[in-house]
Amino acid sequence: MAFLRLVVRIMGRISTFRSYQFVVLLAAALAVVAFYYFGSEKQNFSTTTKRIKQTQVSHNTNRNDADLTVDTRLLHPDGSEEQGGEEPDLEMDSKDFKHRKRDGQVDDRHFHALMMFTKVDKSRSLQDKFRVAMLSMVSFHDVVALTQKLFPIVEAMQKHFSAGSGAYYSDAIFFLSVAMHHIMPQSLTRIVQLDLDLKYRTNIRDLFQEFQRFSPGAVIGIAREMQPVYRHTFWQYRKENPKTRVGEPAPEGLPGFNSGVMLLDLGAMRASALYNQLLEPSNVAKLADQYRFRGHLGDQDFFTMIGMEHPELFYSLACGWNRQLCTWWRDHGYGDVFQLYYRCEGPIYIYHGNCNSPIPDD
């Protein structure tokens, strides 16, 4: 039987599992893992829930203990279930989920896992068990160790793309996406980086399919900025070049990028001579001087700047994958052109409540 190993890269330094809040945070992380890897078919979840109810009596001996229930039965496309015995004909590698074809058809089965626990704040024993289970299922990175590796690579960028020492985006960690291909293991070839202020309206697993749409030479998938941020930031360059597309709204213009949702093809980033040349301090300074650029939004500014010169490095995500809700610039001098940037046609998959904007309930 093939085994599915879940690996979640969670930033932060972990020192203790005694905090109830931290356990809740890890539970949220587990939920994200399950949402991405296992799908969201209600029929399967109902099947699992029914079986839990049927076996509740036999699991009633210790209500403070963890009850781990895994649905190992397989759901066929016609809705019937396979009771086991035959091992699933499924292959997966470290890059993608590659499904072996059976009789010419792609095997697209879902796997569901359910971990149940309660009263975690009152049970040290349960906290310890949860700690063991989580550490065997996910991976953690020490933010200090990552920053130490990252700082020499991005140090020169910080003066161009942050508001100075002490500013929110001044920390080197906000440039992680820029050089992640250098500090992550070679076995990690693709990763999606997401902001915290997002709301998902679809299975996040669908986002990974966008990697297949990258054109040759593209290394990063990212959505356009939906406010006239860079119309403002590039003001001097625009004044000196009145016919430029820089800072103009899409589709004809180059409005810049928003880094709230990013697809990083680490393999392509490692292989791209052009991209790695652009990381060199002399080239960063050259472009910043050419475009009269002085930003404050970390990696987003860097990607926006090099995208003005080398758009072929980027795959443009549809705005529905990063539907930004912030309207700050509408009320700060750009009300006349704001809608040209803010409009978003097509389905919305992810809401982005940037600048603390409220996210719709739907």
Per-residue pLDDT reduced to its tens digit, 206-265: 999 999 999 999 999 999 999 999 999 999 999 999 999 999 999 999 999 999 999 999
> CA separation (Å) from 320 to 200, 207, 262?
11, 11, 13
Check: CB of residue 327 under 8 Å from CB of residue 342. Answer: yes
Residues 6+ apart with CB under 8 A from 347: 320
What total number of domains does the chain contain? Answer: 2
Taken as a whole, the chain contains a residue count of 362
Q: Please report the sign of the dihedral spanned by the C-alpha atoms of residue 36, residue 39, residue 42, residue 44.
A: negative
Which residues in the chain land under pLDDT 70?
A: 1-110, 163-170
Boundary of a domain, candidates 140, 175, 202: 140
Q: State residue 16's pLDDT score.
A: 38
Alpha helices in 20-118 (DSSP H): 20-38, 42-54
Helix (H, G, I), strand (E, B) or coil at 112: strand
| Statement to judge: residues 315 and 174 lie in one domain | yes
Q: Is residue 320 part of a domain?
A: yes
Q: What one-character-per-residue DSSP string does 256-303 give? A: -EEEEEEEEEHHHHHH-HHHHHHTSHHHHHHHHHHTT----STHHHHH
The reported pLDDT for the residue numbered 48 is 46
Instruction: Tell me the per-residue pLDDT of 158-186, one tens digit each, with 9 for 90 and over.
Output: 778 875 555 444 577 888 899 999 999 89
Amino acid at 54: Q
Rg from Cα positions in the chain: 23
Three-state DSSP state, 349: coil
Q: Collapsing DSSP states into helix, strand and coil, what is residue 255?
A: coil
What single-letter amino acid sits at 111?
F
Residue 253 domain flag: yes
pLDDT (0 to 100) of residue 153: 84
- pTM comes to 0.68
Q: What angle do CA 60, 64, 66 make, to 5 degrees?
A: 80
Q: Is residue 362 part of a domain?
A: no
CATH code, domain carrying 218:
3.90.550
Q: Which of 284, 234, 283, 279 is nearest to 255 (CA)?
A: 234
Strand boundaries in the chain, DSSP class E: 9-11, 67-71, 74-75, 81-82, 101-102, 105-106, 112-116, 139-141, 190-194, 198-200, 220-224, 257-265, 314-317, 323-324, 350-352
Contacts for 280 with CB less than 8 Å, ≥ 6 apart? none
Q: Do both 170 and 290 map to the same domain?
A: yes
Q: What is the rounded distance in angstroms from the CA atom of residue 62 to the CA atom of residue 130? A: 16
Instruction: At 337, list the tokens.
Output: 């052109």
Q: Domain for residue 67, yes or no? A: yes
Query: Are residues 109 and 236 both part of a single domain?
Result: no
- Tokens 């589709």 locate to 251
Q: Is residue 341 part of a domain?
A: yes
| 171, 71: one domain | no
Same domain (yes/no): 118, 215: no
For 61, the enclosing helix (H) or strand (E) is none
Residue 155 domain-assigned (yes or no): no
33/178 same-domain check? no
The answer as to whether 149 is a domain residue is no
Instruction: For residues 100 and 136, state if they share a domain.
Output: yes
Same domain, 175 and 236: yes
User: Do 236 and 292 contact (CB within 8 A), yes or no?
Assistant: yes
User: What per-residue confidence (pLDDT) applies to 22?
Assistant: 54
Sole residue written with tokens 């697809």: 263
Say yes or no: 178 and 106 in one domain.
no
Q: Which amino acid does the sequence have at 198?
A: L
* Helices and strands in the chain: count of H runs, count of E runs: 12, 15
Q: Are residues 99 and 194 in the same domain?
A: no
Give the helix, strand, coil percentages of the chain, each rounded to 5.
45, 15, 40
Q: Give, as one character, the DSSP assignment of residue 248.
A: P
Cα dihedral 47, 53, 55, 56 sign: positive
- Cα distances (angstroms) measured from residue 190 to each of 135, 184, 211, 264: 22, 11, 9, 6
Q: Residue type for 217, please?
A: G
The residues near 310 (Cβ < 8 Å, ≥ 6 apart) are: 274, 278
Residue 74 is predicted with a pLDDT of 38
Q: Is residue 150 part of a domain?
A: no
Under 8 Å between Cβ of 157 and 26: no
Identify the domain containing residue 212 by its residue range.
162-356
